[in-house]
Amino acid sequence: MLPAAEAEAKILDLVSLPVNAEQVPLDKALGRILAQSIPSPLDFPHWDNSAMDGYAVRHADVQGASAENPVALTLTETIPAGRSPTQPVDPGQAARILTGSMLPTGADTIVIQEVTRREGEQVLVLETPEPKQFVRHQGSFCRAGDPLMGAGLLIGGPELAVLASAQCLQVPVFPQPRVAILSTGDELVRPDTPLQPGQIVDSNQYALAALVRQAGAIPVPLGIVADQPQALRTAIQTALAQADVIVSGGGVSVGDYDYVDEILAELGATLHIRSVAVKPGKPLTVATFPAVQGSAPLYFGLPGNPVSALVTFWRFVVPALRKRSGLATVWGPGFVPAVTRHVLKAGGQRETYLWGRLTPTSAGYEFELASGGHNSGNLINLAGTNALAIVPVGTTRVAEGETVQVMAIS
């Protein structure tokens, strides 16, 4: 059994970053990974403009201005945002200016309106401003030709705003990995099938498809596969033709009907991991197939028990999908220290993951253990979970109030 951190590192070594790119419209780029560095086509700001409502002046004209000795300047024009100035500001003059308005020629400083007083066609400046105060200079944020964003960046709301500002209507992104999902087991049935004695609804197909989407990949659900070698062989071959990554649930333990590892070897796969020292989720098969067009299809054989399947997906598959999607950094899960509100118990032989809720407080984070039994078959109390508390190997009990490492999963 490989320790969790060692298994994660081994898996990430097997995953190659994508090299191809595709173009998507700006409004379809949310959640995608930028495939190329984007150079700025423009200066930001595009021109000198005002950061405040006030008056555009020449700093030389207002030195020494105070409430006792105000400086009177003649108003030339009002410059609304979105319009160009019509005349320069000459000595002894000022232009009324609004936030975002273009600075007129000759002006170099903004006097905020709160320290002025209007008297007809003049404005009295009641306080000496700092030189160049409240002027946003052309190119001070970014100059044309400089990189706006680098490859490997996850595109969210702020990134979309930057791309829109740069008039980048087509965005180069990495293709999303396609993830085939198989559920193995004669006992499994679809949710719309009346249950017979001994049968179990295949919940993994739905949960894993949702988690694949959340990880930025495209799920390819292939349904339930019978516990028969030929059926499994055909299903894996079908998955290889459609996906970059294959995730199966069940069939990777040591039971009489666990054929996954055997079939993978027959199909020419290299098995890199057979089990990991985690609970729940000890059975975990990780394999690669010979590379096709430079990319080696990756196979994850997860345990069949619902909680084990989800825990191993969060811990090991999500980092692989993040790297395969083209993210430049931070592939692995995020861990934070948190104070546990409950006693946490474990066997001590394997790194144990206990599910519950992570809550921010003024003093840091707290972890609340989900109520009910914590075993790999109890899917019910997993609802509402947003984190997994980790009890390390060699520890059998973490007391209430102690600090524990917690893995955030949403």
Axis-axis angle for helices 4-14, 318-325 (nearest 10): 30
For 130, which DSSP code?
P
Beta partners for residue 285, in sequence order: 301
The DSSP result for 252-286, as a single string, is -SSSTT--HHHHHHHTTPEEEEEEBSEES--EEEE
Question: Cis peptide leading into 280, omega within 30 of 0?
Answer: yes
Report the candidate in 146, 174, 178, 138 with the shortest Cα–Cα distance to residue 162.
Answer: 146
Beta strands in 9-160 (DSSP E): 22-25, 38-39, 49-50, 54-57, 71-79, 93-97, 109-112, 116-119, 122-125, 135-136, 147-149
Domain CATH code at residue 363: 2.40.340.10
Q: What is the pLDDT of residue 254?
A: 59
Residues 353 and 295 in one domain: no
CB atoms within 10 A of CB 312: 26
Which of 114, 149, 173 is the endpoint of a domain?
173
Query: What total of structural domains would you count in the chain?
Result: 4
Residues 299 and 380 in one domain: no
Q: Average pLDDT of each block of 10 consecutive residues along the chain (410 residues)? A: 94 92 97 96 96 98 96 97 96 97 98 96 97 97 95 96 96 97 93 92 94 96 92 94 93 68 92 95 92 80 93 97 93 95 95 96 96 86 94 96 95
- Judge whether 391 and 327 are in contact, CB under 8 Å: no
Residues 80 and 153 in one domain: no
Q: What is the pLDDT of residue 377?
A: 80
Which amino acid would we find at residue 128? Answer: T
Distance CA 265, CA 373 (A): 37
Q: What is the pLDDT of residue 227?
A: 87
* Alpha carbon 197 to chain centroid, angstroms: 42
Contacts of 233 (CB under 8 A, 6+ apart): 263, 266, 267
Q: What's the residue count for the chain? A: 410
Residues 131 and 146 in one domain: no
Cβ burial 160-199 (10 Å sphere, 16+ → b, else e): bebbeebebeebbbbbbbbbbbbbbbeebbeeeeeeeeee
Residues 214 and 353 in one domain: no
Contacts of 250 (CB under 8 A, 6+ apart): 183, 184, 185, 188, 204, 258, 260, 302, 303, 304
Residues 187 and 254 in one domain: yes
Residues 319 and 214 in one domain: yes
Residues 107 and 145 in one domain: no
Residues 55 and 159 in one domain: no
Q: What is the pLDDT of residue 256?
A: 56
Residues 27 and 166 in one domain: yes
Residues 130 and 218 in one domain: no
The DSSP result for 190-241, as a single string, is -TTSPP-TT-EE--HHHHHHHHHHHTT-EEEEEEEE-S-HHHHHHHHHHHHH
Report the candidate in 183, 198, 410 with the shortest Cα–Cα distance to residue 306.
Answer: 183
Which amino acid would we find at residue 301? Answer: G
Question: Cis peptide leading into 175, omega within 30 of 0?
Answer: no
Query: Which domain covers residue 356, as residue numbers?
Result: 334-408
Which of 325, 347, 373 is the endpoint of a domain?
325
Domain CATH code at residue 150: 3.90.105.10
Q: 1 vs 4, 37, 123, CA distance in Å?
A: 9, 41, 79
Q: What is the pLDDT of residue 1?
A: 85
For 315, which DSSP code?
I
Contacts of 264 (CB under 8 A, 6+ apart): 236, 271, 285, 287, 299, 301
Q: 210 vs 109, 218, 219, 227, CA distance in Å?
A: 54, 10, 8, 25
Q: Record the pTM.
A: 0.88
185: phi > 0 → left, psi -120 to 50 → alpha, else beta; which?
A: left
Beta partners for residue 130, in sequence order: none
Residues 95 and 167 in one domain: no
Which of 173, 194, 226 is the endpoint of a domain?
173
Tokens of 8: 């994660």
Domain CATH code at residue 241: 3.40.980.10
